[in-house]
Amino acid sequence: MTDAVSVAGLVKTFGSTTALDGLDLAVRTGEVHGFLGPNGAGKSTTIRILLGLMRADAGTARLLGGDPWADATALHRRLAYVPGDVTLWPNLSGGEVIDLLGRLRGGLDPRRRADLLERFDLDPRKKGRAYSKGNRQKVALVAAFASDVDLLILDEPTSGLDPLMEEVFRETVREEVRRGGRTVLLSSHILSEVEALCDRVTIIRDGRTVETGTLSELRHLTRTTIQAELDGPPHGLAGLPGVHDVRADDGRIRFDVDSAALGPALSRLSAAGVRSLVSHPPTLEELFLRHYDRAAAGNGKHAEAAR
């Protein structure tokens, strides 16, 4: 199976700022791929390169088997895009925008359009300037979902939607994928959304890919926190590779442990005699925060170097 999107070593600079600094991204056909990163990490720039709106300074990008810059128009027949900040023409109604975009992509199914308008509870007669942010986003979402395309590129598509609409969005994405052959590249900050929808995620920071994989794979990359009451001191625990921040206090111990070192660490504990034990599995929040927070990320690098 070929990848719907494959990007390697992408570099893009604007004057003296480096927006992308060797970014890698692979989206497999048929999957929902979460694309995450703090604000300004380079998500929108990557998407604009994939859409052939911008040209990369170095690196390669392939989209649906074609070159996003050279074959832009042909490729765009097979994709739909929802920008992060939807702006509409002030004097066009929402329905007109949906139809225009649909017709440009070669027509849309009127029944599907009506169904989506109802689901998203959108009045298509309002003029562009009269819509709220959430409603502008709905216009772009309806236009994208109503077209029959292979790839959906969604740039923070739910940032203005209420929880009810957020749920409608999730259902619609699941449906799209179930209909088969459809690939979704979803840039998002909403962890529950990523967890609910995405098969794999890529996390980028400062224009570089820092993690990529399935969510469970990524969970393995983080540490479990363990608290235990012991009969005696756990000999050699602090010296184990992958065990961090050991704090012992009056028969109680607390430490963080890499997933790979969980077995050896537990055997040291049981050797000392365990009276009680609590373990906190790594949460996605921790995973993301570790990558989002610059200071923490710096520490992570040091930790890796020390290992």
Partner 1 sequence: MTALTGTALTGTGRLIRLAVRRDRWLLPLWVLFPCLVPPVFVAAFNGAYPTAQARHEYMETSLHNTAFTVAYGPLHGSTLGEMVTWRSGFVPVVIGLVALLTVVRHTRAEEEAGRRELIGSTAVSRHATIAAALLMTCGACLVLGAVSALAMIGQGLPAAGSLAYGFELASAGWVFAAIGAVAAQLSAGAGTARGIAVVVLAVAFLLRGIGDVSGLSGGRLGWLSWLSPIGWTHRLQPFHDERWWIIALAVGATVALTAAAVALSGRRDLGNGLLAARVGPAVAPPGLRSPLGLAWRLHRGSLAGRTAGLAVVGLGLGGIAESIGELMNNGSPAARDVLARLGGPGTVVDQYLVGMMTMFAVINAGFAIQTALRLRAEESGGRAEPLLAAPVDRLRWAGGHLVFVLLGPVLGLAAFGAAAGFAHGLNTGDLGRDLPRILAAALVQLPAVWLFAGLGFALFGLWPRLVAGAFAVLLASLLLGWLGGELQLSRWVLDLSAFNHIPQLPGGEFAVPPLAVLTVMAAALVLLGLLGLRRRDIPAG
**CB of 142 closer than 8 Å to CB of 117:** yes
Of positions 18, 26, 28, 96, contacts partner 1 by CB under 8 A: 96
Binding-site residue total for partner 1 (CB under 8 A)?
46
Question: By C-beta, is 125 or 280 nearer to partner 1?
Answer: 125
Residue 27 DSSP label: E
Mark the segment that binds partner 1 (CB under 8 A) among 23-31, 124-132, 192-200, 285-293.
124-132
Of positions 42, 62, 81, 291, contacts partner 1 by CB under 8 A: 81
Which residue from 72, 69, 65 is spatially nearest to 10, judged by alpha carbons? 69
Mark the segment that binds partner 1 (CB under 8 A) among 1-9, 27-35, 72-80, 290-298.
72-80
Return all residues near 106 (Cβ < 8 A) that are at least 6 apart.
77, 147
Mark the segment that binds partner 1 (CB under 8 A) among 104-112, 184-192, 211-219, 270-278.
104-112
Question: Minimum distance from CB of 98 to partner 1 (Å)?
Answer: 8
Residues 238-257 that bind partner 1 (CB under 8 A): none
Packing angle, helices 133-145 and 163-178, rounded to 10? 10
Of positions 28, 127, 220, 268, contacts partner 1 by CB under 8 A: 127
Question: By C-beta, is 140 or 204 nearer to partner 1?
Answer: 140
3-state helix, strand, coil in the chain (%, to 5): 35, 30, 30
Question: By C-beta, is 154 or 218 nearer to partner 1?
Answer: 154
Dihedral sign from CA coordinates of 92, 98, 99, 104: positive
Strands (E), 206-267: 208-214, 223-230, 243-249, 252-258
Of positions 58, 70, 130, 296, contacts partner 1 by CB under 8 A: 130
Q: Which strands, in side-by-side order, build the sheet including 243-249?
A: 243-249, 252-258, 223-230, 274-280
Of positions 58, 65, 121, 129, contacts partner 1 by CB under 8 A: 129
Question: Minimum distance from CB of 236 to partner 1 (Å)?
Answer: 56
Of positions 33, 43, 62, 76, contacts partner 1 by CB under 8 A: 76
Of positions 79, 185, 240, 253, contacts partner 1 by CB under 8 A: 79
Residues 136-165 that bind partner 1 (CB under 8 A): 140, 143, 153
**CB of 129 closer than 8 Å to CB of 74:** no
Q: Note every long-range contact of 46-55, with CB atoms under 8 Å and residues 24 or more positions apart, other chains counting.
A: 46/7, 46/10, 46/20, 46/204, 47/81, 47/153, 47/155, 47/185, 47/187, 49/7, 49/10, 49/12, 49/20, 50/5, 50/7, 50/153, 50/185, 51/76, 51/81, 51/153, 52/76, 54/12
Question: Minimum distance from CB of 208 to partner 1 (Å)?
Answer: 19
Of positions 65, 89, 195, 278, contacts partner 1 by CB under 8 A: 89
Residues forming contacts to partner 1 in the complex (CB under 8 A) are 14-15, 48, 51-55, 72-74, 76-77, 79-81, 83, 85-93, 95-101, 103-106, 124-127, 129-130, 140, 143, 153
